[in-house]
């Protein structure tokens, strides 16, 4: 694997990182990823390992943006060293934008994401809000993404990446920006994808890799399933909407949502909303707020690959796929998503680590605990 340092202006390759102590590259499903490079402070590293330059390991499809640089003297050797870190380009760049104004969209998640990214970053109406001189390709939708239920999206002035990430996590989607170089065309383009369900074909046991940690939690402390949303007005004249669950009695858990900021007379519109339109806006706010109060059920483990797993990562299953995982330490079998893939490289060689997590609530069975 070669690590290239590239220009953020035109994707020109500025240098190959020839001298480094360690390298860490993490891709996380639905949440982009990050990287860190530890290296001696040579003249070349000082020149090219600077903020905004791009990092591309040539066995990867994506690039990272250097966002933090630390130069110091090693306390053990007395030699100068440099550490740089950053995020992969989609999170690094999209987090620099907000949703400019009010976004009210009723569409499939992939279309909502595409509209938000294009309208606020790649093809923003105001040229100064676009992402720069790089040639940006289209956002393509992977062939395995099915038709999804329409979501009712409403936001004003939120951070673009946080909003995109939230939609991805709630919809099982992943947005990544990929680097493409055909010689005649050098570009960055977006891909929206969804993991493949391989639970019937891939059954991975933690016994076959090096299990570094695992954790299983259930918690319904803050769970709510009903909401009273209060909009404009005062006292008895305050306009409200109610989300009523099927659960009743002790199983009904109520939440109050203060939505006073939502007004019938929006600054961006000359005509006030009708009662029905305003009720729908309040309901959308309530539905979004309830997502923050779901039952919490989580399983997560990290597994260093040893080559003895019986299944080959990148061939039999990939980042974002859902597999069957058996944890013989916590005695649980479940359907788990491949949440992240981390490459760690140093003088001892390369280690690939996968992190798995549950898709709430898909625990399929508990392995009988041994006495």
Q: Is 322 contained in some domain?
A: yes
Amino acid 269: pLDDT: 63
- Residue 49 located in a structural domain: yes
Predicted confidence band at 183 (pLDDT cuts at 50, 70, 90)?
A: confident
Q: Based on the domain organization, do 183 and 98 belong to the same domain? A: yes
* Shared-domain flag, residues 153 and 234: no
Q: What range defines the domain where residue 40 resides?
A: 3-88
Q: Mean pLDDT lowest for which of 66-80, 127-141, 263-277, 333-347?
A: 263-277
Residues 143 and 284 in one domain: no
The verdict on 70 and 188 lying in the same domain is no
Domain boundary among 274, 293, 312: 293
* β-strand pairing of 203-205 with 173-181: unpaired
Q: How far apart are CA 226 and CA 131, in angstroms?
A: 41
Same domain, 303 and 347: yes
Q: For the chain, how many structural domains are there in total? A: 4
User: What is the torsional sign of CA 276, 279, 284, 285?
Assistant: positive
Least confident of 199-203, 285-289, 327-331: 327-331
The pLDDT value given to residue 9: 92
Looking at the structure, tell me whether residues 25 and 157 fall in a common domain: no
Q: 328 and 208: one domain?
A: yes
Are residues 66 and 21 part of one domain? yes
Same domain assignment for residues 129 and 19: no
Q: Which residue from 154, 173, 57 is spatially nearest to 99, judged by alpha carbons?
A: 154
Q: Does any domain span residue 45?
A: yes
Residue 326 scores a pLDDT above 80: yes
Weakest mean pLDDT among 18-27, 248-257, 271-280: 271-280
Is residue 108 located within the same domain as residue 162? yes
Q: Are residues 334 and 214 in the same domain?
A: yes
Q: What is the pTM of this model?
A: 0.77
pLDDT value, residue 292: 87
Identify whether the C-beta of residue 317 lies closer than 8 Å to the C-beta of residue 202: yes
Share of residues in the chain with pLDDT > 90 (%): 76
Rounded to whole angstroms, the Cα distance separating 193 from 196 reads: 9
Alpha-carbon distance of 63 to 238, in angstroms, equals 50
Q: What mean pLDDT value characterizes the chain?
A: 91
Which tokens in the block code for residue 172? 């099982």
371, part of any domain: no
pLDDT at position 367, please?
Answer: 44
User: Residue 323: inside a domain, yes or no?
Assistant: yes
Asked if 113 contacts 172 with a C-beta cutoff of 8 angstroms, the reply is: no
The pLDDT of residue 360 is: 55
32 in any annotated domain: yes
pLDDT beyond 80 at 247:
yes
- Asked whether 144 and 110 are in contact (CB, 8 A), the reply is no
Q: Predicted confidence band at 368 (pLDDT cuts at 50, 70, 90)?
A: very low
Q: Are residues 304 and 208 in the same domain?
A: yes
């Amino acid at each position: 694997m070669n690590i290239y340092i590239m220009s953020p202006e035109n994707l020109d390759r500025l240098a190959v990182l020839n001298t480094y102590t360690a390298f860490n590259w993490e891709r996380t499903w639905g949440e982009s990823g990050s990287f860190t490079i530890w290296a001696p402070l040579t003249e070349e590293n000082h020149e090219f390992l600077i903020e905004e330059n791009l990092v591309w390991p040539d066995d990867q499809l994506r690039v990272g943006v250097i966002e933090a640089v630390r130069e110091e003297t090693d306390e053990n050797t007395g030699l100068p060293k440099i550490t740089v870190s950053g995020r992969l380009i989609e999170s690094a760049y999209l987090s620099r934008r907000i949703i400019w104004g009010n976004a009210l969209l009723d569409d499939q998640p992939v279309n909502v994401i595409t509209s938000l990214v294009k309208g606020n970053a790649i093809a923003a109406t105001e040229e100064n809000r676009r992402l720069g001189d790089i040639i940006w390709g289209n956002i393509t939708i992977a062939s395995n993404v099915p038709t999804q239920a329409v979501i009712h999206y409403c936001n004003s002035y939120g951070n673009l990446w946080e909003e995109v990430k939230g939609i991805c996590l709630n919809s099982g989607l992943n947005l990544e920006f990929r680097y493409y170089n055909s010689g005649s065309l050098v570009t960055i383009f977006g891909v929206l994808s969804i993991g493949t369900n391989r639970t019937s074909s891939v059954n991975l046991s933690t016994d076959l890799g090096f299990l570094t940690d695992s954790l299983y939690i259930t918690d319904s402390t803050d769970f709510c399933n009903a909401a009273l949303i209060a909009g404009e007005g005062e006292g008895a004249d305050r306009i409200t909407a109610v989300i009523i669950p099927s659960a009743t009695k002790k199983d009904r858990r109520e939440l109050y949502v203060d939505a006073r900021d939502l007004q019938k007379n929006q600054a961006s519109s000359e005509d006030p909303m009708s009662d029905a339109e305003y009720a729908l806006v309040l309901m959308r706010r309530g539905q979004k707020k309830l997502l923050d109060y779901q039952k919490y059920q989580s399983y997560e483990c990290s597994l260093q690959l040893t080559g003895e797993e019986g299944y080959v990562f990148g061939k039999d299953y990939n980042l974002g796929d859902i597999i069957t995982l058996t944890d013989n330490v916590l005695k649980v079998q479940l359907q788990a998503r491949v949440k992240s893939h981390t490459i760690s490289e140093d003088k001892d060689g390369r280690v690939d680590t996968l992190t798995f997590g549950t898709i709430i609530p898909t625990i399929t069975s508990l392995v009988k605990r041994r006495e």
